[in-house]
Amino acid sequence: MTKQALSLQSIMTYFRKRWSTAPDGRKPSNNAKYTVADGVLAAFAVFFMQSSSFLEHQRLLQNKKGRSNARSLFQVEEIPSDPQIRNLADPLPSTYFQEDFWFLLDELKDQQRLLQFRNELNTYAIALDGVNFFSSEKIACPQCLKREDRSGVAHFYHSAITPVFVKPGQSQVLPLPPEFIVPQDGNEKQDCERAAAKRWLAQQHEHFSDHSVTFLGDDLYANQPLCQLIVETYRQFFIFTCKPESHPGLYEGLAFLEKNQSVEKVTQRHWNGKHGEIWQYRFANPVPLRNGSDALQVNWLELVIVKEGTGESLYQNSFVTNHMITTTNVMHLVQIGRTRWKIENENNNTLKTKGYHLEHNFGHGQQNLANVLVSLNILAFLMHTIQELIEPAYQRLRRALGARKTFFNDLRALTRYMVFDSWDDLFAFMEDGLEINQASP
């Protein structure tokens, strides 16, 4: 397929076609004016435009002009009301949208655009992390998790792991399908982040079967069952944060190696623009991940940064990995391991604070609504990221308008008063108004 397959117009055409086959459990009725596809496309439009009032404005345009951007840009044939959208989307399984993530990501891969996320180790790094996106003492659904505070008050909440492709030096991250942490049938224990990570790997690993992946995560992930699964079942790599307090067996083995001068060191000096820094790397191959004869053998590495001259501690962290560590690759391994923070800063924080309002309760429903809406929200974020990476007009507008907030404000204002036949027409109108040279890269 061509680059055009990832244009906004082409993607929305694909979504319209696929979501038209979404499961519809409603009984046949003459009153079924709105299709499930219209409900899902309408919800998606709200997230893509980062505007809770977008549909309201499009209904007004439809009434006044007989057309709307909901139809021309998002292919919504009939705009449902907000309660109707929630009713249409609630019964859908959240897993239904995994295919849509992979349509976009696989197309990026086919166009060789995913290569820019390949790192110095000739591997792709995928960061794993959990995020909460709903909490209430009163509202609950069958998908809610539950905890009690010290005073015995029950709190109902939603949580998911939100994996992303990351790369050192790459400002964008590419969201992958989320895995929701929900009560599991036939399991008395409450679901958890580790269990969700295992499910995600089981469901998605075939998408990585033809290239090397390094999974990144915090100390929670550095446990034997998950590490063993990655190494032995999926034949992939990991770099996980590894703290002394949660891995006493490993650090006992490390202390023994240190006494025998078996821990290697590499020291570098860096200038941060204000003062010198001493970066000291230490590593050892191999050490047992835990106590016991069946312990998985892993490789350990650490970075300590101190201020030159004073010795003031600026940074310290350690990791475990199944990559063999050498004096030539230890810097790359630490750099990739530290890139895990991008899932918090560039993904979760963006979704919470940069207009996507991940923690806002757009609708809880009686079945799957909360998780369905979060899936669509993250899918909208992925679409914007892809446009940042490949679409020249989108890139020119973002550069010209500067702040992300200004870009979205302009999108919302223009589509409130005018109807555009396509995304190309909308972007061309914006570029003309800003007097942007469309021949520029």
Q: For residues 90 and 371, what is the distance between their CA atoms, to the nearest angstrom?
A: 9
Q: Look at residue 1 in the predicted model and tell me its pLDDT.
A: 43
pLDDT digits (tens, 9 = 90+) for 332-370: 999 999 999 876 666 666 666 665 566 566 778 889 998
Which tens digits make up the pLDDT trace of 200-232? 999 999 999 888 999 999 999 999 999 999 999
Tokens (6 digits) for 351:
């979704």
In a domain, residue 350? The reply is no
Assigned domain for 248 exists = yes
Give the model's pLDDT for residue 220: 95
Dist CA 94 CA 43 (whole Å): 14
Q: Convert the pLDDT of each residue in 385-400 to its tens digit.
A: 999 999 999 999 999 9
Any residues with CB less than 8 A from the CB of 217 and at least 6 apart, and which? 127, 128, 129, 197, 238, 240, 241, 340
Task: Provide the number of structural domains found in the chain.
Answer: 1
In a domain, 194, yes or no: no
The domain of 293 spans 237-342
Tell me whether residue 336 is in a domain: yes
Q: Give me the torsion for CA of 116, 119, 122, 125, rounded to 10°.
A: -100
Question: Is a pLDDT exceeding 80 seen at residue 187?
Answer: no
Q: What percentage of residues in the chain have a pLDDT greater than 90? A: 75
Q: Tokens for 69?
A: 């951007």
CB 268 within 8 A of CB 279: yes
pLDDT band, very low/low/confident/very high, at 3 (cuts 50, 70, 90): low
pLDDT tens per residue across span 289-309: 999 999 999 999 999 999 998
Three-point CA angle 404, 405, 406, nearest 5°: 90
Instruction: Summarize pLDDT for 26-71 with one digit per residue, the tens.
Output: 877 656 789 999 999 999 999 999 998 999 999 999 999 999 999 9
**Distance, CA of 362 to CA of 337 (rounded, Å):** 35
Q: How far apart are CA 85 and CA 74, in angstroms?
A: 15
